[in-house]
Chain A
């Protein structure tokens, strides 16, 4: 099997196909801290793509409650268990070697096995990736255990509330929402496992699609996708998955004015937690050093947004700003060793980060480049014992062909009406 370079693991890994990279990669950053689990995103997707017969249990986008929830049920716990079993059988204790961290290994180097390596270790190798096929009933609840968190250890007579349950930096009683869709992975497990070669990654934007004419409903992709984002549709007897709203990405939607437009689930988010873009990819698969691309800045420069379960090895292209109140070991298991740094940077954002965070949901048009106009200092404070200052900078976003699409200041402009009309409309 060829070796491919996975920057999220800081090393090469085995994958059934040799490297071949798109010019641009569909990618997104979700700020978990802001999500209210309103499921507007889920409904935006469903009402666009999956409202037909046979798609009743199909949620290409879903928002689930961690740590107990999961769609399909306990998908991540089940996969972590499988991977643990493989490591135990191999006598490997998977760790991240922080010493190796560098520009192309931002989280250090993972020395455990990916789902591809765990499958390859089985001799003879019967599958392309370690995985499992969730049964019908496991797909029924897109947000099971909604708002349920561990209770901590409440004192007797405290009505189940822990005295220190909500103290930062880590809440003892906590939950958070995880927003999920297909990660349009760089090394998709769905694609690797499809014996029909019916799944392909588009060279123009890295979007991963299932050819509906070639799929034979084997469900090997459903079994192999570690994120369980390839789904089987009984009424057509074939599998379907998130299409990254490709007509919008292509600028083919009538509303898009001919330039790439953010997907339905991104654009609908009232919590303003979502920012989606396209990042330029060098021929060798590394992200081109395009600091003014907001996604690139957040992920590669500021490192405030992290991949979901990077240890699975698919190099997912969805990135999350971790919830700052959740227990760190749980978050490290989910987002890798970059968690502490990411939370520290989010708690005391740099001047540039604070400005770029304003771009979330500022426009439906994909922002390819941003610029910042500096403004005055408006606030001073101390965070973690260090001085911190806020500046009313202005961030300007540009579309693919360089037209200005948004202009926002860090401080929201306020207009105070005159006294005679305080409540009039």
Chain B
């Protein structure tokens, strides 16, 4: 239709967009709505690496990150099981801590039954530029931090079949309970003998430190290289997981994070165990920037821009109002309201 009349709601939408644009140009964080940047804020006081619900986290800027399924390679997940996560980050002189928070109706922290899978979350860092988000590639690999609810629960003491099947015959356990040998004379734990971290007698962290250079290449760093600390808490249908690490370890397989340098490229993933999520069946973000930009100073410092913004908004309001009042003459329509289909 030739007639373009603008509804007040439409006008408001344009106004909001203009505002967001201006604020973005000014560096004012609008990312909690938009979710493309995670800010690593400087902590006042100690870094809350073991306290996911510490008040210090409330002072950090939160980015609400929308997740999608993983539709690239089997096993795929077409619809995300977790719609979004909130990410905050805090740094001090030596360490960085990243807090992931998401809603989850069930707390899934056992992998002892054939059909039980654990809740999990991961942060991946691009080690080079142009790294593929899909598990990396040879040219630029990934460093991944993978937190697992079952590992967190196992930290206190490794659970075994007896914990899910109390009636399981337990009079003779092979290998006998006293030994940690993978190949004891009276039994074997093949996974442990092969050095698989999942089968290890004791875990050093609830977070696994890994690398990948493409699909199927995900590999744990050596036991000595496991340097990501984890803390997690499930409260009121919500997981909060803190993963923390030295900012720039010497290990070239670890993503070095340096405040003051360019933003790091990161992505996030979450698995909901009770929905059967594991491996590629995950809810993922796109690449995001992790920046160490300080929070913008107070609004008083940017008053000239605010004045200009107010002026611009005022002018556009006047124009909208003026436009709505114009007669329809000359556009082929009779006087009065146009037909109902005229508006957008």
Do A195 and B280 touch (CB < 8 A)?
yes
Which parts of B149-208 form the interface with A (CB within 8 Å)? Answer: 150, 160-161, 164-165, 168-169, 173-175, 187-196, 198-199
Looking at B58-66, B70-78, B309-317, the stretch in contact with chain A turns out to be: B70-78
The smallest C-beta distance from A81 to any residue of chain B, in angstroms, reads: 18
Which parts of A290-326 form the interface with B (CB within 8 Å)? Answer: none
Docked complex Cα distance between A27 and B191 (Å): 27
Choose among B73, B111, B190, B193 the residue that contacts A217 (Cβ–Cβ < 8 A).
B111
Q: Is B250 an interface residue (CB 8 A)?
A: no
Q: Is B215 an interface residue (CB 8 A)?
A: yes
Docked complex Cα distance between A52 and B193 (Å): 13
Across the interface, which residues of A come within 8 angstroms of B191, CB to CB? 212-213, 215, 233, 236-238
Docked complex Cα distance between A234 and B159 (Å): 9
Instruction: Tell me the interface secondary structure of chain A in the complex.
Output: loop
Docked complex Cα distance between A8 and B196 (Å): 37
Number of interface residues of B (CB under 8 A): 41
Looking at A119-127, A265-273, A274-282, the stretch in contact with chain B turns out to be: A119-127
Binary contact readout A210-225 vs B (1 if CB under 8 angstroms, 0 otherwise):
0111111111101000
Q: Is A158 an interface residue (CB 8 A)?
A: no
A51 and B278 contact, Cβ closer than 8 Å, known pairs A136-B113, A195-B74, A234-B160: no
Q: Is A418 an interface residue (CB 8 A)?
A: no
B177: nearest chain-A partner, CB-CB: A53
The smallest C-beta distance from A212 to any residue of chain B, in angstroms, reads: 4
Choose among B73, B78, B112, B218 the residue that contacts A196 (Cβ–Cβ < 8 A).
B218
Q: Is B114 an interface residue (CB 8 A)?
A: yes
Q: Is A197 an interface residue (CB 8 A)?
A: yes
Docked complex Cα distance between A135 and B190 (Å): 23
Q: Is A139 an interface residue (CB 8 A)?
A: yes
Across the interface, which residues of B come within 8 angstroms of A214, CB to CB? 196
Do A56 and B161 touch (CB < 8 A)?
yes
Across the interface, which residues of A come within 8 angstroms of B77, CB to CB? 126
Q: Is B279 an interface residue (CB 8 A)?
A: yes
Choose among A52, A56, A193, A232 the residue that contacts B114 (Cβ–Cβ < 8 A).
A232
Q: Is A381 an interface residue (CB 8 A)?
A: no
B174: nearest chain-A partner, CB-CB: A52
The smallest C-beta distance from A278 to any residue of chain B, in angstroms, reads: 24
Across the interface, which residues of B come within 8 angstroms of A232, CB to CB? 114
Choose among B75, B112, B278 the residue that contacts A234 (Cβ–Cβ < 8 A).
B112
Instruction: Tell me the interface secondary structure of chain B in the complex.
Output: loop
A53 and B169 contact, Cβ closer than 8 Å, known pairs A133-B114, A212-B196, A219-B114: no
Do B196 and A215 touch (CB < 8 A)?
yes
Do B198 and A217 touch (CB < 8 A)?
yes
The smallest C-beta distance from B178 to any residue of chain A, in angstroms, reads: 13
Binary contact readout A102-131 vs B (1 if CB under 8 angstroms, 0 otherwise):
000000000000000001000011111000
The smallest C-beta distance from A406 to any residue of chain B, in angstroms, reads: 33
Do B115 and A56 touch (CB < 8 A)?
no
Docked complex Cα distance between A133 and B112 (Å): 14
Do B164 and A234 touch (CB < 8 A)?
yes
Q: Is B340 an interface residue (CB 8 A)?
A: no
A127 and B115 contact, Cβ closer than 8 Å, known pairs A51-B187, A53-B173, A216-B279: no
Do B113 and A234 touch (CB < 8 A)?
yes
Do A237 and B161 touch (CB < 8 A)?
no
Which parts of A168-202 form the interface with B (CB within 8 Å)? Answer: 193, 195-197
Q: Is A235 an interface residue (CB 8 A)?
A: yes
Q: Is B216 an interface residue (CB 8 A)?
A: yes
The smallest C-beta distance from B115 to any residue of chain A, in angstroms, reads: 4
Do B190 and A236 touch (CB < 8 A)?
yes
Q: Is A54 an interface residue (CB 8 A)?
A: yes
Docked complex Cα distance between A134 and B188 (Å): 25
Q: Is A64 an interface residue (CB 8 A)?
A: no
The smallest C-beta distance from B197 to any residue of chain A, in angstroms, reads: 9
Which parts of B104-122 form the interface with A (CB within 8 Å)? Answer: 111-115
Choose among A193, A211, A235 the residue that contacts B161 (Cβ–Cβ < 8 A).
A235
Do B198 and A236 touch (CB < 8 A)?
yes
Across the interface, which residues of B come within 8 angstroms of A197, CB to CB? 216
A/B pair count, beta carbons within 8 Å: 123
Which parts of A246-282 form the interface with B (CB within 8 Å)? Answer: none
A53 and B78 contact, Cβ closer than 8 Å, known pairs A124-B71, A212-B194, A222-B114: no
A236 and B199 contact, Cβ closer than 8 Å, known pairs A52-B189, A136-B114: yes
Docked complex Cα distance between A128 and B215 (Å): 15
Across the interface, which residues of A come within 8 angstroms of B280, CB to CB? 195
Do B76 and A234 touch (CB < 8 A)?
no
A53: nearest chain-B partner, CB-CB: B173
Across the interface, which residues of A come within 8 angstroms of B188, CB to CB? 52
Do B111 and A234 touch (CB < 8 A)?
yes
Docked complex Cα distance between A128 and B165 (Å): 32
Q: Is A205 an interface residue (CB 8 A)?
A: no
Across the interface, which residues of B come within 8 angstroms of A231, CB to CB? 114
Across the interface, which residues of A come within 8 angstroms of B111, CB to CB? 217, 234, 237
A243: nearest chain-B partner, CB-CB: B190
Do A125 and B198 touch (CB < 8 A)?
no
Choose among B71, B187, B194 the residue that contacts A52 (Cβ–Cβ < 8 A).
B187
Docked complex Cα distance between A135 and B115 (Å): 5
Choose among B75, B78, B169, B192 the residue that contacts A195 (Cβ–Cβ < 8 A).
B75
**Taking each of A51, A54, A220, which has the highest tally of chain B beta carbons within 10 Å of its own beta carbon?**
A54
Do B173 and A220 touch (CB < 8 A)?
no
Do A240 and B114 touch (CB < 8 A)?
no
The smallest C-beta distance from A350 to any residue of chain B, in angstroms, reads: 45
Across the interface, which residues of A come within 8 angstroms of B114, CB to CB? 133-136, 139, 219, 222, 231-232, 234
The smallest C-beta distance from B278 to any residue of chain A, in angstroms, reads: 5
The smallest C-beta distance from B148 to any residue of chain A, in angstroms, reads: 10
Across the interface, which residues of B come within 8 angstroms of A220, CB to CB? 75, 279
Do B76 and A236 touch (CB < 8 A)?
no
Binary contact readout B30-68 vs A (1 if CB under 8 angstroms, 0 otherwise):
000000000000000000000000000000000000000
Query: Lowest 7 CB-CB distances: which A-B pairs, in order?
Result: A236-B191, A52-B187, A212-B194, A213-B194, A236-B199, A126-B76, A237-B198
Other than the given A126-B75, A133-B276, A195-B280, 18 more pairs (CB < 8 A) read: A52-B174, A53-B161, A53-B174, A124-B78, A126-B74, A126-B78, A135-B115, A136-B115, A193-B75, A196-B279, A214-B196, A215-B198, A218-B278, A220-B279, A235-B160, A235-B189, A237-B198, A238-B198
| 30 pairs, CB–CB < 8 Å, chain A vs chain B | A51-B174, A53-B160, A53-B175, A56-B168, A124-B71, A125-B74, A126-B77, A127-B74, A133-B115, A133-B276, A135-B113, A136-B114, A195-B280, A213-B191, A213-B194, A215-B198, A216-B218, A219-B278, A220-B279, A222-B114, A234-B111, A234-B112, A234-B113, A234-B160, A235-B160, A235-B189, A236-B190, A236-B192, A236-B199, A237-B191
